[in-house]
Chain A
């Protein structure tokens, strides 16, 4: 090697020329093709992610089909029907004239929900209600994964077709966020398949613990409530009807309860899972005011509207968790958080109401794996 180098170095001037030419050449190439190289590199990374996403989607589809065959016993091949559901489209409302949009959204969401329910019922005719609700969640997750996959593929192919760095860049920039979203969905597959409580179930757990020894009634669609005596007060405790995977209709339940009591309710306490900030511990409790409910905002609007009408204050209890916990099987910190939140509920009742008052306690969230 050294001999070779020594030989080379004897013709130093020639080599100098060659090296210099090479460098100049590389510089010129880079000057003109840097952007293209960068695009290719980004496209490669998008493609790798896309391939992974496809694998996850296919796996989720397989799990869904197996689950439907197992609990729904359709007796025929349902894979084509599952594929049809996965391609389901739901055309969003126009918001050109926002007047009355909440009622339109309410109607739109109900129709969506009913059709999805009917489709799952059709492919799993022998599933009990609880199993069917869990299947709806499972197929829903598969649907979402498929949608994300298709959207990503669209953008990837668009980028490849145009080789436009700005199109590619936009997809590339959101890749980590997309994979984060995908990860938060995939952890829900096991939970919905087997009916395990998830991070979002903490609200129903708190409510369920308060109401479990008292007679229940159906207060609105997929919602149960119980009147619970507590230190001279009457609590109207409500949650989605478990243990199937549903969020129920908390807005309608609160509206019904308030109307029935003609607004003579001292306070409303809402318990919900809420996103934590980085650095905050999982299962931490925050107390505050306001309608603690996520989702489309339709429920929040309705609850705010009725509480303004009757001038009832809403206390909020948030159980903090990361995006990766919301649909994943409940972690121990959150199970403990739900117990702590139960103490918070009792303290708020003692602090903000007197004996003889009526208090509404609503556990908000998906009640999968949580009875009452």
Chain B
């Protein structure tokens, strides 16, 4: 019920799905069976080619199934980073008389366009011109953005 008047839009999808033990058990069982099957495939290749192909096919299918299970529904993420986040906020003050600019940490009670504190350089009063989140150093590099 927090009201905003922003007009709707789209946002990036969030992946945060964890794999379960059921998944893991199935993968392990299929993996072992497939390995054994492949082994027999190679083993019987000289004597009986039809049997060999059948084994190889079964083994390959097993691995394909594992691949499908692993990559469907996103990769399992180890830990959720979702909690209630806290950002570092900074306040920018400007003196309308002498154009002095100063940046400090946000204090509760600060708001944009507030007449805040006397100017340190002249007898004017500094006005808060901006309250915003401190820019984080670019964590992720742009990955091939099509412009």
A positions within 8 Å CB-CB of B: 9, 12, 15-16, 19, 22-23, 26, 37, 40-41, 44-45, 48-49, 52, 55-56, 59-60, 63, 112, 116, 137, 140-141, 143-144, 175-177, 179-180, 182-190, 192, 194-201, 203, 205, 208-209, 212, 242-243, 245-247, 250, 272-279, 292-295, 299, 318, 320-324, 326-332, 334-335, 364-366, 369-372
Contact = CB atoms under 8 A, between A and B. Distances in A.
Given A40-B22, A56-B82, A183-B82, A208 B1 contact: no
Contacts of A201: 112
A328 B136 CA distance: 15
Of A140, A275, A369, chain B has the most CB atoms within 10 Å of the CB of A369
A197 B82 contact: no
Contact of B1 (A143, A182, A331): A143
Interface string B71-89: 0010000001011111101
Counting chain B residues whose Cβ lies within 8 A of the other chain, the interface size class is 35 or more
Contact of B133 (A140, A295, A330): A330
Nearest to B4: A200
Contact of A279 (B13, B18, B87, B146): B146
- Say whether chain B's binding surface is mostly helix, strand, loop, or mixed: loop
Contacts of B18: 44-45, 48
Contact of A37 (B22, B44, B113, B114): B22
Nearest to A292: B7
B131 A321 contact: no
Of A12, A186, A188, A371, chain B has the most CB atoms within 10 Å of the CB of A371
Contact of A44 (B22, B30, B36): B22
Give me the 3 closest cross-chain CB pairs, A-B, nearest first.
A275-B9, A323-B11, A243-B111
A186 B82 contact: yes
Of A48, A185, A279, chain B has the most CB atoms within 10 Å of the CB of A48
A141 B73 contact: no
Contacts of A329: 87, 89, 132-133
Given A190-B87, A335-B132, A275 B1 contact: no
Contacts of A186: 82-85
B6 A45 contact: no
